[in-house]
Amino acid sequence: MPAGPAGPVRFVAYYRVSTERQGRSGLGLDAQREAVARHVAAAGGEVVADFQEVESGKRNDRPQLAAALAACRAQRATLLIAKLDRLARNARFLLGVVEGSGEGGVVFCDLPTVPPGPVGKFLVTQMAAVAELEAGLISQRTRAALAAAKARGVKLGNPCLRAGTPEAARAATAVRADASRARAADVLPYVEAARSAGCKTLREVAAALTARGVPAPAGGRAWHPMQVKRVVDACRG
């Protein structure tokens, strides 16, 4: 995005690491700063302020993020973040940040096609809504699979530990397999969309799922290549 008539694009950078150890060592932080620097250079912009947070992605009370949003509103700047998962792990929080960023909106270096300003804010809002819908559908399908297993007479929980019989162990395995297949069926369309968009390797597909905001297994935010392979294998089976 080139500089406008009023001067270069103004950015407020926000960095987050999860632990004090990462903050001291620069682990993760250096990569974020490098991504931000590349984006700013490509945009012909300037960083007017930057803020760094050492906080879990699960927590919503982040004083440095609040300060960054205030700086964006005061200076009519765009909030710039290296990766979507450095900002939020849930849709409601992401929407709150988008609304609080002011006119400039939010730009993610790993989603360079999303522009700043009102259009970018709209696109990020839609992404958050899709992510929330996906999470709800996956949860719904998992509950349905468990309910169907219960209707067949399967004892839920951990029947292997409770009953200690081979039959109970097989039943528990079947419940987990049903839930896994249901979840894989929900995720597969996004895997296929990533491949249609040019992603050829499992690593590239995993990165696309992460950027899209598709919830990863076990409540994680970032996808890994082997998790993508399990989704594809489950749907083939």
CATH number for the domain harbouring residue 49: 3.40.50.1390
Indicate if 153 and 81 belong to the same structural domain: no
* Angle, in degrees to the nearest 10, between helices 91-100 and 117-151: 170
Q: pLDDT-derived band of residue 63, with 50, 70 and 90 as boundaries?
A: confident
The domain boundary residue, chosen from 112, 138, 154: 112
Query: Are both 133 and 94 inside the same structural domain?
Result: no
Q: In the prediction, which pLDDT does 90 show?
A: 59
Same domain? 50 vs 103: yes
Token duo for residue 102: 């002011």
Cα 37 → chain centroid? 22
Q: How many structural domains are present in the chain?
A: 2
On whether both 54 and 155 belong to a single domain, the answer is no
Band of pLDDT at residue 195, cut at 50, 70 and 90: confident
- pLDDT tier, 48 (very low <50, low <70, confident <90, very high otherwise): very high
Interatomic CA distance for residues 46 and 11, integer angstroms: 6
Cα–Cα distance for residue pair 49/64, rounded to 1 Å = 12
> Is 118 part of any domain?
no
Structural domain boundaries enclosing 33:
10-112
For residue 36, pLDDT beyond 90: yes
| pLDDT tens profile 89-119 | 556 677 677 777 777 778 888 777 777 667 7
Same domain, 93 and 138: no
18 is catalytic: yes
* pLDDT confidence tier of residue 178, bands split at 50, 70 and 90: low
Do 141 and 100 belong together in one domain?
no
Q: How far is CA 10 from CA 33, 79, 117, in A?
A: 16, 9, 12
Indicate which residue of 18, 25, 56, 139 is catalytic: 18
Q: Give the CA-trace dihedral at 79, 82, 88, 93, to 10 degrees.
A: 10
DSSP one-letter code for 154: -
